[in-house]
Amino acid sequence: MNKNADLKVRAAVHAAQLPWQASPLPGVERRILDRIGGEVARATSIVRYEAGSSFAPHVHTGGEEFFVLEGTFQDEHGDFPAGSYVRNPPSTSHTPRSDAGCTIFVKLWQYDMEDRTHVRVDTSKMAFVPDCERKGVEIMPLFNDGREDVRLETWRPNAKVEFSPVFGAEILVLEGSFVEQNERFARLSWLRVPPGGTVSATAGPRGAKLWVKLDHLHAAVPKEIANAS
């Protein structure tokens, strides 16, 4: 399955309006934002675990990155409540489950294949700091390795925010809303801006809290995915 597979064009998905789709595992459903490939895929999705659901042990050959939106995600490495940001680099394995149920935003096969850095962050224990380059914006850095920059951002109500990441950007709305190119993005709306593109947005009347990734769309689709798709 391919969806929003051309990384050189703008893509927008309002995930809260999409129906849940069954995954191969009972009790786990997803809303697909972008995808290149079949069940082994370069993919960005919202995934929902019903209470008591679990996966068999498996290896993330191409790495996995996720942010917990609701509930608590669990594996043998610990419990990850809402607001947790996790990076499981290529070649790592785990046995995911959720005793009480959870919803996560997850990205697969989007790593530098040499990356071996584990990241586990509880954003509820961190603080935002003002962005010195953009008025009305605060940031919470989550990860930066020179190839990509991941953070949370808050935009003040009605703030006008503009930036032009050289190698693209992705934004997921966690709270509030913004308008970009006359399109309104509310909770669980997702925007991908291609390399060379510009984000020119106005925050909603209650502001916005966002998951943001910058300058990461320079990498080619992994050959394992390209050959399988």
Domain limit, last residue, from 122, 144, 169: 122
Q: Extract the tokens encoding 185.
A: 């993005």
Same structural domain, 129 and 202:
yes
- Cα–Cα distance between 211 and 142 in angstroms, integer? 10
- How distant, in Å, are the alpha carbons of 3, 39, 75, 88 from that of 25? 21, 12, 16, 20
- Cα–Cα distance between 160 and 120 in angstroms, integer? 32
Range of the domain at 83: 18-122
Domain contains 199: yes
Domain contains 42: yes
pLDDT at res. 229:
47
Nearest Cα residue to 67 out of 49, 46, 51: 46
* Block mean pLDDT (10 aa), the chain, length 229: 92 97 91 89 94 85 94 93 95 91 95 88 97 96 95 98 95 98 98 96 98 87 56
Domain contains 206: yes
Domain contains 64: yes
Where does the chain have alpha helices with state H?
223-228
The structure's pTM equals 0.94
- Cα–Cα distance between 61 and 78 in angstroms, integer? 21
pLDDT at res. 58:
81
Nearest Cα residue to 57 out of 27, 92, 22, 23: 92
Domain contains 196: yes
Give the number of domains in the chain: 2
Same structural domain, 159 and 210:
yes
163: left (phi over 0), alpha (psi -120 to 50) or beta: beta
Domain contains 178: yes
Domain limit, last residue, from 84, 99, 122: 122
